[in-house]
């Protein structure tokens, strides 16, 4: 399958590391002009260099805190129009349910849900005017299987699925697709830290990963963490002219025990 995004501009939020960085590389390899986004110029510059080196593609960097109105405005001023928007930015972390404060709940909702809504409001009108666009929100298996150790995160990702479906209706018939990608437990630096919150920190990584999957994600059919590139391949497909719309597409290694998508 040849996925050609030549001539398209793609913005990936939170793309200085992890899943976002892998998505940026994969989109650039498909021919897109990719905008890497993060909060600090230093991290953005380093990520731009890495994406350019690994893809050989056209890459630009925009340092802006898109969790705030002024940061989003600064981003839009520097990048007024995009063809592909990937809302990847998010926060997560383990916390006992009864210790999650109102401020914690607000932070997770504001970062994981409202940031995506704000960016969709910013870029969807231009996509609709041009008759083509791709919007993707990176969700999580935690949206469907709420983890006991971080229900605030799970609930925010459930809301993100609903946000995606709602904006798909807003974009209906316009040539713009809106989808969410349900990422399963994925191997990133942040997840390594999370894993070591739940298993013996003295364990070597390979053993720690196996223990985490055995104890906390036993329903995974691949019985390992997903690599970020596996998520990126689905995102690139959904950014292509072949994309569906209004879908919640799973890349979860069979973690969600369901025969439905």
Strand partners, 182: 139, 250
Q: Which domains does the chain have, with CATH numbers?
A: 9-186+226-251 (3.40.50.720)
Residue from 123, 153, 196, 237 carrying the catalytic annotation: 153
Query: Is 189 in a helix, a strand, or coil?
Result: helix
CA angle 9, 15, 17 (to 5 degrees): 150
Report the Cα 239 to chain-centroid distance in Å.
13
Tokens of 246: 């209004």
pTM: 0.94
Of the CA atoms within 13 Å of residue 250, those in its CB half-sphere come to 18
d(Cα 220, Cα 218) in Å, to the nearest integer?
Answer: 6
Q: Residue 153 catalytic?
A: yes
Instruction: State how far the alpha carbon of 124 is from the alpha carbons of 113, 116, 135, 174, in Å.
Output: 16, 11, 8, 10
In order along its 261 residues, the chain shows pLDDT tens digits of 789 999 999 999 999 999 999 999 999 999 999 999 999 999 999 999 999 999 999 999 999 999 999 999 999 999 999 999 999 999 999 899 999 999 999 999 999 999 999 999 999 999 999 999 999 999 999 999 999 999 999 999 999 999 999 999 999 999 999 999 999 999 988 889 989 999 999 999 999 999 999 998 899 999 899 999 999 999 999 999 999 999 999 999 999 998 887
DSSP state of 211: H
Q: Is residue 38 classed as helix, strand or coil in its secondary structure?
A: strand
């Amino acid at each position: 399958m040849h996925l050609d995004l030549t001539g398209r501009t793609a913005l990936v939020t939170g793309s200085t590391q992890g899943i976002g960085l892998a998505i940026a590389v994969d989109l650039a390899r498909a021919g897109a002009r990719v905008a890497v986004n993060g909060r600090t110029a230093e991290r953005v510059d380093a990520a731009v260099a890495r994406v350019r080196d690994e893809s050989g593609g056209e890459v630009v960097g925009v340092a802006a805190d898109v969790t705030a109105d002024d940061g989003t405005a600064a981003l839009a001023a520097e990048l007024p129009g995009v063809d592909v928007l990937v809302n990847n930015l998010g926060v997560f972390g383990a916390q006992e349910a009864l210790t999650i404060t109102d401020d914690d709940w607000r932070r997770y909702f504001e970062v994981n849900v409202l940031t995506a809504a704000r960016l969709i409001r910013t870029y969807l009108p231009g996509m609709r005017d041009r008759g083509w666009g791709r919007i993707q929100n990176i969700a999580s298996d935690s949206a469907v299987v709420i983890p006991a150790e971080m229900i605030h995160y799970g609930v925010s990702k459930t809301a993100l699925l609903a946000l995606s479906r709602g904006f798909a209706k807003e974009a209906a018939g316009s040539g713009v697709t809106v989808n969410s990608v349900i990422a399963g437990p994925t191997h990133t630096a942040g997840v390594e830290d999370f894993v070591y919150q739940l298993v013996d920190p003295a364990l070597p990584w390979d053993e720690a990963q196996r223990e985490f999957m055995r104890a906390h994600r036993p329903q995974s059919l691949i019985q390992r963490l997903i690599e970020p590139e596996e998520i990126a391949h689905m995102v690139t497909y959904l950014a292509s002219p072949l994309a569906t719309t209004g879908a919640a597409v799973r890349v979860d290694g069979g973690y969600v025990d369901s025969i439905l998508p």
